[in-house]
Amino acid sequence: MDILPALPFIPILEIIGTFVFAISGTLTAADKKLDPFGAGVIAFVTALGGGTLRDLLLNLRPVWIQEEHLLITVLASVVVAVLFRRKIVKFRRTMFLFDTAGIALFTVLGMEKALRVGVSPLIALVMGVVTAVFGGVVRDILCNEIPLIFRKEIYATACLAGGGTYLLMRLAPVPAGIPMGVAILIIILVRLLAVKFKWSFPNLNP
Amino acid sequence: MDILPALPFIPILEIIGTFVFAISGTLTAADKKLDPFGAGVIAFVTALGGGTLRDLLLNLRPVWIQEEHLLITVLASVVVAVLFRRKIVKFRRTMFLFDTAGIALFTVLGMEKALRVGVSPLIALVMGVVTAVFGGVVRDILCNEIPLIFRKEIYATACLAGGGTYLLMRLAPVPAGIPMGVAILIIILVRLLAVKFKWSFPNLNP
Amino acid sequence: MDILPALPFIPILEIIGTFVFAISGTLTAADKKLDPFGAGVIAFVTALGGGTLRDLLLNLRPVWIQEEHLLITVLASVVVAVLFRRKIVKFRRTMFLFDTAGIALFTVLGMEKALRVGVSPLIALVMGVVTAVFGGVVRDILCNEIPLIFRKEIYATACLAGGGTYLLMRLAPVPAGIPMGVAILIIILVRLLAVKFKWSFPNLNP
């Protein structure tokens, strides 16, 4: 608990990330013609599913069970998404930027949490990626789709690149905030470039 | 542990609820042309999946791992459902009543268990709904369907109405059994009325 | 912890089982046209998903989080499967034998682990089957299929037969390795015979 208090903007970013993920979940649910309850569940798992799986695997009680503000953030975002759906759709580009920032942040926060309960760096990297991407995987399963991330999104790779850098920089004698900032920038950069230049891995059965 | 011993009918209702949910799971599995092993798994997750997720989230060991009689109830109900399938189908109305009673009971028991490990009322409400409805969600995922409850069933809302009432009444100086009984009645009533008058939420993409 | 150290070949068999399950997961992912990241995830859940669920249910931290070599085994098997896919496909018969041996081993190891944390024999049997077959179930869910095992594979039954024998023999005053060896042989035998003679349960809705 030495870094987070020193970086007071992190809880705010975490709430923004949760909010944006939940909005994106609600929009997906609306596309699938779900009702408001279904939309709430999809928003919840999109936003908090990754962190929940991470905490279950680390044998901890998930954060949102202890800190109610994350659940309230999800509820608020569902209301906003339902009321302003038409307007939000026009801001897809902005949404995408927030979403990318959210993934980057969740990767680093997830790794840091895992490292603090004493797992190895490799496992911490896995936990970071789980935190960032697993919510989207469950969202796709609930909506009866093969998860998008398994097919064409490169963003897990962006998380791995940023997360790996974070692990290396953490060994260096620099202030704690610097590896975190650099890792977040790398993840954002890789994903933006991947989308701009349509980078993707070939599928395995060409 | 102050309420449950004082209400000796609860363990019996819990077994009845488990039995009915497992029968309904077995019938779904038969519709999907699964084999007896598949039917057993579907029956199990329908009946015990919600409580299992609740306990995992609260970082407890699921009840059925400690108390074998719930697992044996599921096995018995699979045998009954397979042997008497044709007859059971005729009792759909009775089944529906038991199913509704089961959901009501599971909501309240799930909330009570969550409150006792010290979570906030809002989180306890979520845990109650998870206990009641998550088994059906996993059943639908395993059967490769978008979960029914996300599309047209109003019963999560019934659970929320009853669960909210339970939280409010629990603050009042009345004997412990009264809020529980009232909450269960509200859930049953809302669901029966919803089905009778075909109440449902509009989907989000009309 | 009295049996495992006395049977030094078990960790090696465990790695072989993990390797083979991960290869089979990667090949499934390739059939579904997933990218390398998706293949890695499918390989992981196929190989380690069953043990992970068992450990979550027993309220333990999953083994692969503590012991990195299992995760590294999965990564290695993905690389091997991607590089040598054409050749591996020719060895389907050998793969099938290893897969069967893996299921047998995972059943017995899963039961033993459950018994050691103090659950009843019936629950331990369920945990053994979960360890052996749940990875394949999640693989099929992620690939958007009704799990194969619910429809026509008899191998859960093979696990139950071997697991039941293990529980009975464990009561007898024989050296610890003997029940384990017999149970593994029974599981392998039942599955091979089931495949050879096309044994299967009828589905429940003929």
Contact A150, A186 (CB under 8 A): no
Q: Do B65 and C200 touch (CB under 8 A)?
A: no
| pLDDT higher at C123 or B172 | C123
pLDDT of residue C102: 84
- Which residues on chain C are in Cβ contact (under 8 Å) with B68? 120, 122-123
Query: Within an 8 Å CB–CB cutoff, is residue C12 touching chain B?
Result: no
Query: Within an 8 Å CB–CB cutoff, is residue A71 touching chain B?
Result: yes
pLDDT of residue C156: 85
Interface test with B, best of A35, A57, A74, A75 (most B CBs within 10 A): A35
pLDDT of residue C189: 93
- Which residues on chain B are in Cβ contact (under 8 Å) with A34? 146, 150-151, 203-204
Virtual torsion, Cα C68, C70, C71, C75, nearest 10 deg: 130
Question: Min CA distance, B146 vs chain C (Å)?
Answer: 11
Interface test with B, best of A65, A141, A144 (most B CBs within 10 A): A65
Query: Within an 8 Å CB–CB cutoff, is residue A146 touching chain C?
Result: yes
> Would you list the domain boundaries of chain C?
4-149
Sequence-ordered list of residues with C-beta below 8 angstroms from that of A83, at least 6 positions apart, any chain: none
Query: Within an 8 Å CB–CB cutoff, is residue B204 touching chain A?
Result: yes
Question: Percent helix, strand, coil in chain B (nearest 5)?
Answer: 75, 0, 25
How many whole angstroms from its chain centre is CA A177? 19
Question: Min CA distance, B135 vs chain A (Å)?
Answer: 13
Residue B74 has pLDDT above 80, yes or no: yes
pLDDT of residue A150: 66
Query: Within an 8 Å CB–CB cutoff, is residue B147 touching chain C?
Result: no
Residue B6 has pLDDT above 60, yes or no: no
Q: Which residue of C has its CA nearest to B71?
A: C123
Q: Which residue has the tokens 């189908």?
A: B89
Residue B93's pLDDT band (cuts 50, 70, 90):
confident
Region of poorest pLDDT, from B54-58, B140-144, C81-85, C160-164: B140-144
- Which residues on chain A are in Cβ contact (under 8 Å) with B202? 35
Residue in B34, B52, B59 nearest the CB of C203: B34
Q: Do C65 and A123 touch (CB under 8 A)?
A: yes
Residue in A120, A145, A150 nearest the CB of C38: A150
Type of residue found at B86: R
The mean pLDDT value for B54-65 works out to 94
Q: Do C57 and B36 touch (CB under 8 A)?
A: no
- Which residues on chain A are in Cβ contact (under 8 Å) with C26? 204
Region of poorest pLDDT, from B159-163, C13-17, C113-117: C13-17
Residue C74 has pLDDT above 70, yes or no: yes
Residue in B141, B150, B200 nearest the CB of A41: B150
Residue C204's pLDDT band (cuts 50, 70, 90):
low
Contact A131, A51 (CB under 8 A): yes
Q: Which residue of C has its CA nearest to A115?
A: C65
Query: Within an 8 Å CB–CB cutoff, is residue A123 touching chain B?
Result: no
On the 0-12 / 13-18 / 19+ scale of CB atoms within 10 A, B87 is: exposed
pLDDT of residue A152: 63
Nearest CA among A28, A36, A55 for reference residue A147: A28
Contact C191, C158 (CB under 8 A): yes
How many pairs of residues across B and C have Cβ atoms under 8 Å apart? 76
How many whole angstroms from its chain centre is CA C170? 21
Residue C49's pLDDT band (cuts 50, 70, 90):
very high
Query: Within an 8 Å CB–CB cutoff, is residue A83 touching chain C?
Result: no
Query: Within an 8 Å CB–CB cutoff, is residue B198 touching chain A?
Result: no
The mean pLDDT value for C31-43 works out to 86
pLDDT of residue A153: 63
Residue B60 has pLDDT above 80, yes or no: yes
Residue B5 has pLDDT above 50, yes or no: no
pLDDT of residue C58: 95
CB atoms within 10 A of CB A42: 29
Q: Do B61 and C56 touch (CB under 8 A)?
A: no
Q: Do C142 and A144 touch (CB under 8 A)?
A: no
Region of poorest pLDDT, from B33-47, B151-165, C178-192: B151-165
Q: Do C201 and B142 touch (CB under 8 A)?
A: no
Neighbours of B, requiring at least 3 CB pairs below 8 Å, are A, C
CB atoms within 10 A of CB B57: 21
Q: Which residue of A has its CA nearest to B206?
A: A33
Q: Which portions of chain A are predicted below pLDDT 50?
A: 1-6
Q: Which residue has the tokens 């790794």?
A: A111
Structure tokens at C203: 């589905």
**Distance spanning both ends of chain B, measured CA to CA:** 47
On the 0-12 / 13-18 / 19+ scale of CB atoms within 10 A, A12 is: exposed
Question: Min CA distance, C98 vs chain B (Å)?
Answer: 23
Average pLDDT taken over every residue of chain C: 85
ipTM: 0.83
Query: Within an 8 Å CB–CB cutoff, is residue B84 touching chain C?
Result: no
pLDDT of residue C95: 76
How many whole angstroms from its chain centre is CA A167? 18
Residue B150's pLDDT band (cuts 50, 70, 90):
low
pLDDT of residue B13: 76
| pLDDT higher at A147 or C193 | C193
pLDDT of residue B9: 66
Span C133-177, pLDDT tens digits: 999 888 888 887 777 666 666 778 899 999 999 999 988 888 878
Tell me how far CA of residue A27 lies from CA of A88, A130, B152, in angstroms. 9, 22, 18
Interface test with A, best of B59, B116, B204, B205 (most A CBs within 10 A): B204
pLDDT of residue A4: 46
| pLDDT higher at C6 or B64 | B64
Q: Which residue has the tokens 């108390």?
A: B67
Residue in C122, C137, C147 nearest the CB of B71: C122
Virtual torsion, Cα A170, A175, A180, A183, nearest 10 deg: -60
pLDDT of residue C4: 45
Question: Min CA distance, C206 vs chain A (Å)?
Answer: 27
pLDDT of residue A61: 93
pLDDT of residue C115: 92
Q: Do C150 and B37 touch (CB under 8 A)?
A: yes
Q: Which residue of A has its CA nearest to C27?
A: A204
pLDDT of residue B1: 39
